[in-house]
A and B are shown apart, each in its own frame.
Chain A
Amino acid sequence: MKVRIRRFDGQKEWWQDYEIDAKPSDTVLDILNRIREKHDHTLAFRQSCQMGSCGSCGMVINGLPALACQTRIGELKTESIRLEPLYNYKVIKDLVVDLTDFVNKHRSVKPWMIRKNPEELEEASMEFQVTPDQNLTFVQFDYCIMCGVCLAACPTVAIDPLFLGPQALGQAYRYIADPRDEGFEERIEVLDDSHGVWRCHFAGACSYVCPKGVDPAKAIQYLKKEILKYRLLHKKKASVKPAELVQKAPPANAPKPPPFDFKIEGGE
């Protein structure tokens, strides 16, 4: 099987082809390990759990952001594979991207349990009581493995680097929807912003690619509803300024599209 990988060594970018033996049951991560161990020790990619729970191996597979460890060759239904680093991130080397901005955005929404009396988070003689039905209001949004795949698919992230993005917003909602949390007002400022929830155009690409079924797009729409409800209740006017459009010119060394001879049946 032909595997074409977008490579970058800090200076130059290029496409590199490998010819690899592959079974339909192999995952893309198996293939990458085979390349690195048997063919080319210099190839850089991240991995850890190999079972879809750590979020290390997000990359673009045949044009679609996904986890390499959960994508089997057989299900791609293509005769060759094209691998690229996640879109919308700065590439450091080969398939390794810079996640600094991603983790900072996540932290900015205060993704932790907030209580009006913080002492309640330090004392443990009894649990908060949460019914199984109440659990269902937020647990789906707690599935996030922070792989960053959703941001690679988001058309808004692509044009607005300041947009908080589906992961951070989804995680804000995870806590806001949790009956144990009382931190909505502490989070509203960063959410009710032109680069916050209102920047989302509801393309839904994040939810389409999310490997864990988190559905951040749904979370963002719920957040919009909660924010509007809050504004109505408190008779607050929108503090939102229209977002300035940040149109990024492609960098000088931006990757060129792959050569024409390379066709992916059924892909793209």
Chain B
Amino acid sequence: MRKDIGMETLDYDVAIVGTGLAGLRTAIEILRRDKGKLGLRVAVISKIYLMRSHSVSAEGGTSAVLYPEEGDSFELMAWDTIKGSDFLADQDAVWRFVHIATQEIRLIERWGVPWNRRDDGRIEQRWFGGLSFPRATYAQDKTGFFEMRALYDTLLKYENWDRFDENFVTSIVIENNEFKGFTAIDLKTGNFRYFRAKAGVIATGGAGQLYRITSMAASSTGDGFGLAYNAGLPLKDMEFVQFHPTGLVPRGILITEAARGEGAYLVNKDGERFMKRYAPSKMELAPRDIVSRAIMKEIMEGRGVYDDKSGLYHVWLDMRHLGKERIEERLPFIREIGLKYLGIDIVNQPLPIRPTVHYNMGGIHVDIDGKVLNASGSPVKGLWAAGEAACVSIHGSNRLGSNGTNDCLVYGYIVGNDVYNYIEKERPASPNLSQNILLGEEDRIFGKILGKESGGEDVYQIKDELKDTMEKYVHVYRTGSDLEKAVIKIKELKERYKYIKLSDKSRTFNYNLEHALELGFMLDQAEVIARGALLRTESRGAHARLDYPNRDDANWLKHTIALKGAEGPLFSYIPVKITMWKPVARVY
């Protein structure tokens, strides 16, 4: 620990930001490979406490090929993933991903995950949307939670790492295309820190908080997207925001897709299983984009149910026919959520649900090894991203349910190994950095934001208006005119953001300051999402334009790349890697 530049400098070989499944899995992979060989020291950094990351809320399952002898195969899982992505996935990455997922399921089983079992003691799997084989491996309906428990507990047995709970990372330091560390605020003391590291990993998850109704945690503000964007790094495919079909009204709490995997029905106000109109063969088990659109269509055409308490329209998710025993064994958490938040027992009553913001298919532009790519498409030396924060892209324009947690595990493994190989082979020295960069960042936060006495704009008021804008204009169905309204409003909010004034001036746990910094990230992301969506004049996966209802492979079979410019994002496009299957019509 050095104090040579007026702030705390902490030296590590690797600094990992974000402690969900991807971050923890990366840390473990580095430590278990090293076993003291190089004596690598790892900093594990989270803006909340370890074990509080939003991966704990993943519910239904984690897909992997476990039973080829029963008819599953890597080809089938890859095909499901690519078809689910509406052909925007990079097929080489998908092919690698499906192969590694299997080992991850078995490895974390050894580390303690209580997978549901068959009677003979082998791991049980179930159906999920868009699958051709029931390969969603699950531990009740708390799959992500149990996976987090196993990873966190396993990490505790290693020595060569330090935890930095409640440290908010404010910037990625990059000089001459080389990663040099992260700057952060220690929320407990308010001190400014520089994590000087040879390698950095961003695993900060998604950005559901851009919306009012979301299944995502208060902490899911997409900080990693903002950090990369501010560092001049490209974001990819951000206009593809996943709406999970079954969010509990009114909050949007996740009701797992596994409910439908176990056989739940979606019914409209007339008691009709309306999915027959939209996906006659898969019905309720169509991929999420299709089911979310179906629900919104039912509501738009007057077949939704009105909830007078919240003023929201919804449809019903009916699990009554599953029976109490099956519900208790396989969906106990959903029952608990119904009881605790609405006083509804799913054994006897259906749940009111509507689509809820759930996942960002887009993210930090990375290559197949998770290396972060710069504006010209070559890797930044020493920087990786994994999990939802990264966009390889495996999920293209729509992620299949049960393909989120395995992405985190697989890419935690891949990135952990790639980081280790880099340090082992290149033996990079601890980076040198001109102090001005750090002093500038310190002044931005503590002088220009915290210390500012002028201005009258309120962080929470702007955040409220941002959420309303995204909810109203950048939702499941989009139109050019709505998106234009969103772009104008976001521009206005960004302007007002320059005049925010914080009323909490303290250093200890100044959440007002943290929320202000998050809001800065969120406004940029909202702009990238809305403008990217406006430019993409087609409908593909989660991006559904009422004014351009068809997929347009001739013009839009390509990834969106957004870079920060002086007047907002600059857009360009790169091709999709198609190695196995040519795009075909997507019918379920």
Contacts and interface: CB of A to CB of B under 8 A. Distances in A.
B122 A127 contact: yes
Given A42-B506, A56-B49, A113-B112, A48 B218 contact: yes
Nearest to A43: B511
Given A42-B504, A128-B109, A70 B340 contact: yes
Interface residues of A, number: 61
B508 A128 contact: no
B337 A51 contact: yes
A251 B110 CA distance: 46
Interface stretch (B53-61, B379-387, B445-453): B53-61
Contact of B511 (A36, A125, A146): A36
Interface stretch (B5-13, B113-121, B173-181, B314-322): B113-121
A46 to B, nearest CB: 7
Interface in A202-253: none
A146 to B, nearest CB: 5
B506 A178 contact: no
B272 interface: no
B106 A138 contact: no
A76 B142 CA distance: 27
A23 B340 CA distance: 15
Contacts of A49: 52, 54, 56-57, 217-218
A113 B111 contact: yes
Interface string A144-174: 1110000000000000000000000000000
Count chain B CB atoms within 10 A of each CB in A92, A94, A110, A138 and give the residue with the most: A92
Interface in A66-85: 70, 72
A4 to B, nearest CB: 20
B189 to A, nearest CB: 10
A23 B117 CA distance: 42
Contacts of A132: 116-119
A254 interface: no
A127 B109 contact: yes
A124 B142 CA distance: 22
A142 B149 contact: yes
B460 A41 contact: yes
Given A41-B512, A124-B110, A130 B117 contact: yes
Contacts of B157: 110, 112
B310 to A, nearest CB: 9
Interface in B117-173: 117-123, 140, 142, 145-146, 149-150, 153-154, 156-157, 165
Contact of A48 (B32, B52, B105): B52
Given A47-B218, A56-B48, A72-B341, A41 B504 contact: yes
A42 B219 contact: no
Contacts of B32: 122
B154 A146 contact: no
B51 interface: yes
A152 B506 CA distance: 27
A238 to B, nearest CB: 29
B542 interface: no
Given A41-B512, A112-B156, A130-B121, A178 B112 contact: yes
Contacts, number: 163
A124 B108 CA distance: 9
A138 B81 CA distance: 34
A49 B205 CA distance: 13
B57 A53 contact: yes
A121 B111 contact: yes
Interface string B324-361: 00000000010011001110000000000000000000
Contacts of B109: 124, 127-128
B217 A127 contact: no
Interface residues of B, number: 65
Interface in A36-59: 36-38, 41-42, 44, 46-56
B188 interface: yes
Interface in B499-525: 502-504, 506, 508-509, 511-512
Contacts of A127: 105-106, 109-110, 115, 122-123
A125 B110 CA distance: 11
Interface centre among A27, A49, A70, A106 (most CB of B within 10 A): A49
A99 interface: yes
B489 interface: no
Given A48-B217, A48-B219, A142-B146, A10 B508 contact: yes
- Greatest chain B CB density within 10 A among A38, A112, A121, A128 is at A112
Nearest to A136: B114
Given A49-B56, A129-B121, A111 B254 contact: no
A125 B49 CA distance: 33
B253 interface: yes
Contacts of A123: 110
Contacts of B297: none
A89 interface: no
Given A42-B506, A113-B112, 18 more contacts: A25-B342, A44-B509, A48-B217, A51-B254, A53-B56, A54-B56, A54-B217, A72-B341, A92-B188, A103-B50, A106-B156, A110-B157, A112-B112, A121-B111, A132-B118, A142-B149, A145-B51, A146-B51
Q: Which 7 residue pairs are nearest across A and B when measured between Cβ atoms? A: A129-B121, A37-B460, A124-B106, A124-B107, A42-B504, A54-B52, A44-B509
8 contacts: A9-B506, A38-B460, A41-B504, A42-B512, A49-B217, A50-B218, A54-B217, A113-B154
Interface of B: 32, 48-54, 56-57, 103-107, 109-112, 114-123, 140, 142, 145-146, 149-150, 153-154, 156-157, 165, 188, 217-219, 251, 253-254, 309, 333, 336-337, 340-342, 459-460, 464, 502-504, 506, 508-509, 511-512
